Amino acid sequence: MLKMQNIRKSYRTDTIETHALRDFSLEVNEGEFVSVTGPSGSGKTTFLNIAGLLETPTGGQYLLDGQEVGNLSDSERSRLRNEKIGFIFQGFNLIPDLNLFDNIDVPLRYRGFNAKERRRRIEKSLEQVGLSARAKHLPAQLSGGQQQRVAIARALAGEPRFLLADEPTGNLDSLMARQVMELLEFINEWGTTIVMVTHDPELARRAQRNIQIVDGQVSDLRQTIAQPEAAIA
């Protein structure tokens, strides 16, 4: 599904060059649920941005679904991102002046679906996260957990094969975090590949595999065997 080889990413200012990722290599298989941990500033978010085609690496090779994405134009990368990748952010990133229906509509608009198909997908994804009755509410009228569920619904509406979650429970209390985590596990069971960045070791253990990033490199590739119920307990 995702294959990175010797990925490098550096940011340059007038005086300093910072290496966010150095010879970063990783492979994520179809249907996997992978957690990514590491200290702050280790390069987790940079990895996620590159994986989500929001940033381009300085060097190395990135294959997404077997396709080399390094030389794609912005339009091609955007289309690929829209069709294959779903994002879930720590801060939810819902558009505040759009109601839930219109928020979930955003990626579907860029996909070019007709109105009927968009409505079908929006209603279905709202139903999946249990918020059908709140379609006309604004994000500010929802709790944090509900907002994150809307964000998940928005990510799911396009039926992506690859879900990237950047600390999806970071802004939630433990109960909400558990609900969101269960939802992600449920989504993974449908076959969606998930890569989740988290600081929470318990959540990381619930993934099938954990990757630790330190100083822009993969330092540990550990298989996580623990069952979700066991981890929460």
What x-and-dash track marks residues 135-174 binding other proteins by CB under 8 A? -------------------x---x-------x--------
Is the CB of 51 or the CB of 205 nearer to other proteins? 51
The answer to the question of residue 91 lying near other proteins (CB under 8 A) is yes
The answer to the question of residue 113 lying near other proteins (CB under 8 A) is no
C-beta pairs of 217-226 under 8 Å, 24+ apart in sequence: 217/21, 217/22, 217/23, 217/24, 217/43, 218/24, 218/25, 218/26, 219/38, 224/35
Q: Pick one of 68, 109, 127, 130: the residue that binds other proteins (CB under 8 A).
A: 109
The answer to the question of residue 49 lying near other proteins (CB under 8 A) is yes
Tokens representing 92? Answer: 């939810």
Which region among 28-36, 64-72, 101-109, 223-231 touches other proteins (by CB under 8 A)? 101-109
Q: Which residues contact 174 (CB under 8 A, 6 or more apart)?
A: none
Is the CB of 199 or the CB of 222 nearer to other proteins? 199
The answer to the question of residue 188 lying near other proteins (CB under 8 A) is no
Q: Give the Cα-Cα-Cα angle 195, 186, 65 (nearest 5 degrees).
A: 40
